[in-house]
């Protein structure tokens, strides 16, 4: 049942995005919203692909398997994309401009910090210099916008030093979103317990090998359930954006509220 709901919501989300994404491309902020939405849906699609299983049947017959730990990592990435989107564009719309600037600053600075100081080829060296100048320009914009909004400089300094979330972890960001607190506090830590190559991921793989098919189906079902709730909230959040609110596709997804009401009863 949960897989069926997931597939229905996935279809609605993809069609909704495909019908409306061009509405966001006329501004830099809109393009970031578009890319965050696309990133979330890409993660969801990869999550679905992994849960469908992989095999080496071209080499060894009957070698089907499912990597649950990787599926959980992909669902966590979708979760985080949703929280970034909510923080930048919906939690406090009056702060969208400054938050987007801080988000861009953090990403560029992290990339600069990871590039080596020596032995860069010509293209990478030119790119590093170009982005260094862009960071300075963004910092100037941050100072101007924060002054116009009369924001505390203590907050701005913290965000410039520690990153766009200004020290707020994913759980704190989740509590400020439309997601139910009980979902955030239960599901996100669960999804954080896995990596692609850590020992805990090997434990999960070993557990899956020793599990009966019914146990694997139960694991998949709960992940589809968690993903369905996230997708339903994404659809509602996406539809509330002023750029798409009047689109015909948005008007046709009233049934999303039915899913959300069911989940509210569970997570209330």
**Confidence bin at 211 (pLDDT 50/70/90):** low
Average pLDDT (109-132) is 84
**41-94 residue pLDDT tens:** 999 999 999 998 877 888 888 877 788 888 999 999 999 999 999 999 999 999
**Confidence bin at 222 (pLDDT 50/70/90):** very high
pLDDT of residue 252 exceeding 70, the answer is no
Q: pTM for the full model?
A: 0.90
pLDDT of residue 105 exceeding 90, the answer is yes
**Confidence bin at 1 (pLDDT 50/70/90):** low
Task: Give the HSE-up count for residue 21: Cα atoms under 13 Å, Cβ half-sphere.
Answer: 14
Least confident of 148-152, 235-239, 259-263: 259-263
3-state secondary structure of 65: strand
Q: What mean pLDDT, rounded, does the chain reach?
A: 88
Tell me how crowded residue 239 is: count the other CB atoms within 10 A of its CB.
17
Using CB atoms within 10 A of its CB, is residue 123 exposed (0-12), middle (13-18) or buried (19+)? exposed
First-to-last C-alpha distance (Å) of the chain: 21
Q: Please give the pLDDT value at position 213.
A: 61
Least confident of 83-92, 137-146, 259-268: 259-268
Ranges of H-type helices in the chain: 2-20, 28-51, 68-89, 96-114, 122-148, 153-162, 170-175, 181-191, 199-210, 213-239, 248-251, 256-267
Q: Return the percentage of the chain with pLDDT > 90, whole number.
A: 59
Tell me how crowded residue 108 is: count the other CB atoms within 10 A of its CB.
15
Q: Please give the pLDDT value at position 18.
A: 93
Encoded tokens for 72: 């959980």
**Confidence bin at 268 (pLDDT 50/70/90):** low
């Amino acid at each position: 049942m949960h897989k069926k709901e997931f597939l229905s919501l996935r279809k609605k989300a993809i069609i909704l995005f495909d019908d409306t994404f061009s509405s966001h491309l006329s501004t830099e902020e809109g393009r970031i919203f578009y890319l965050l939405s696309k990133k979330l849906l890409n993660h969801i699609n990869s999550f679905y692909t992994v849960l469908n299983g992989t095999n080496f049947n071209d080499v060894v017959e009957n070698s089907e398997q499912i990597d649950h730990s990787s599926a959980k990592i992909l669902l966590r990435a979708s979760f985080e994309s949703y929280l970034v989107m909510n923080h930048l564009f919906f939690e406090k719309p009056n702060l969208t401009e400054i938050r987007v600037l801080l988000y861009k600053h953090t990403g560029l600075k992290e990339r600069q910090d990871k590039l080596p100081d020596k032995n860069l080829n010509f293209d990478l060296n030119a790119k590093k210099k170009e982005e260094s100048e862009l960071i300075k320009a963004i910092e100037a914009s941050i100072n101007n916008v924060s002054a116009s909004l009369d924001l505390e400089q203590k907050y701005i300094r913290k965000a410039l030093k520690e990153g766009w979330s200004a020290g707020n972890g994913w759980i704190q960001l989740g509590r400020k979103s439309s997601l139910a607190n009980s979902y955030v506090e239960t599901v996100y830590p669960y999804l954080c317990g896995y990596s692609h190559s850590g020992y805990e991921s090997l434990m999960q793989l070993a557990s899956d090998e020793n599990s009966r098919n019914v146990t694997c189906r139960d694991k998949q079902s709960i992940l589809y359930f968690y993903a369905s709730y996230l997708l339903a909230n994404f659809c509602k959040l996406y539809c509330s954006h002023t750029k798409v609110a009047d689109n015909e596709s948005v008007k046709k997804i009233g049934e999303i509220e039915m899913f959300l009401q069911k989940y509210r009863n569970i997570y209330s």
